[in-house]
Amino acid sequence: MTVFNVPRLLKGALVSLDPPNPTPQVIVFQYNPNTLTRTLEAQIAEDEGKSGSPPRLKGAPVETIKLDVEIDASEQLERGDALAGDVGVFPQLSALELLIYPKSDLVMANALRLKFGTLEIMPPTAPLTLFIWGKRRILPVRLTEFSVTEDAHHPNLSPIRAKLSLGLRVISYSDVSGDSPAWNLFIAHQVLKETMAAVATTSSVSAVVGSNIKLV
């Protein structure tokens, strides 16, 4: 009998880290998206009027990520899962949507402060959100786009299948101070990227022109 070694499939996830709460909120993708679209916009410093001056990079590129996430309660319904039979995928939808909501207790506390005459109310600080796509890509991100298409419902109108289109903006060291966890996470990501690039490149020009020539 032929035995195949099937590689373990890692799941992508979004993780919310709220400093007062040491326990991370991990939202694992039920199905990994088939497509991940990334856009990087270089951050070039403005020319100071010196003709012929080399371009200068003023920071990390602005990177955006777009992906579609599908969630489906069909398998749980087939197994007779009581929770799925009642609320479908509403818990998973709620967990994802709450990434862009301020905590309700903070909203109510600020409303009370306004009622009792507090002149200035600071908006609640958003938790740190991480996009995890395998062990080599753990990125601090900000959720910038969120659309939901519910295409199947239980008789009680709970959604049982939905597709979410997510837009993420990667937070780099150009966006935060050095004491932020996001700063260290992005630096680690860039160092790993530089290591991967060294594997894929060569210092010999002869590989492309047929002989060694002096470029500079």
pLDDT band at 7 (very low <50, low <70, confident <90, very high): low
* 93 in Cβ contact with 111 (< 8 Å): no
Q: Tens of pLDDT along 79-91?
A: 998 999 999 999 9
pLDDT band at 191 (very low <50, low <70, confident <90, very high): very high
Q: Which residue, chain included where needed, has tokens 């609640």?
A: 124
pLDDT band at 124 (very low <50, low <70, confident <90, very high): confident
Pairing of strands 36-41, 62-72: antiparallel
Q: Which 3 state secondary structure label does DSSP give 25?
A: strand
- Residue 7 in any domain: the answer is no
Q: Tens of pLDDT along 20-40?
A: 777 889 999 999 999 999 999
- Residue 205 in any domain: the answer is no
Mean per-residue pLDDT of the chain? 87
Q: What is the mean pLDDT of residues 150-159?
A: 93
Query: How far is Cα 88 from Cα 78, in angstroms, rounded to an integer?
Result: 12
- Residue 151 in any domain: the answer is yes
Query: How far is Cα 57 from Cα 40, in angstroms, rounded to an integer?
Result: 13
Query: How far is Cα 85 from Cα 78, in angstroms, rounded to an integer?
Result: 9
Q: What is the mean pLDDT of residues 193-209?
A: 78
56's tokens: 């200068």
* 125 in Cβ contact with 180 (< 8 Å): no
Length of the chain: 216
Q: In this model, does residue 1 exceed pLDDT 60?
A: no
Domain limits at 71? Answer: 13-40+57-197
- Residue 5 in any domain: the answer is no
What sections of 98-136 are H helices per DSSP? Answer: 104-115
- Residue 207 in any domain: the answer is no
Residue type, 62: V
Query: How far is Cα 16 from Cα 29, in angstroms, rounded to an integer?
Result: 14
Q: Which residue, chain included where needed, has tokens 């996470």?
A: 185
pTM of the shown model: 0.84
Query: How far is Cα 23 from Cα 1, in angstroms, rounded to an integer?
Result: 46
CB atoms within 10 A of CB 37: 11
CB atoms within 10 A of CB 180: 15
Please count the structural domains in the chain.
Answer: 1
Bridge partner list, 149: 163
- Residue 183 in any domain: the answer is yes
- Residue 4 in any domain: the answer is no
Ranges of beta strands (E only) in the chain are 13-18, 21-28, 36-41, 62-72, 128-132, 138-153, 159-170
Query: How far is Cα 139 from Cα 189, in angstroms, rounded to an integer?
Result: 7
- Residue 45 in any domain: the answer is no
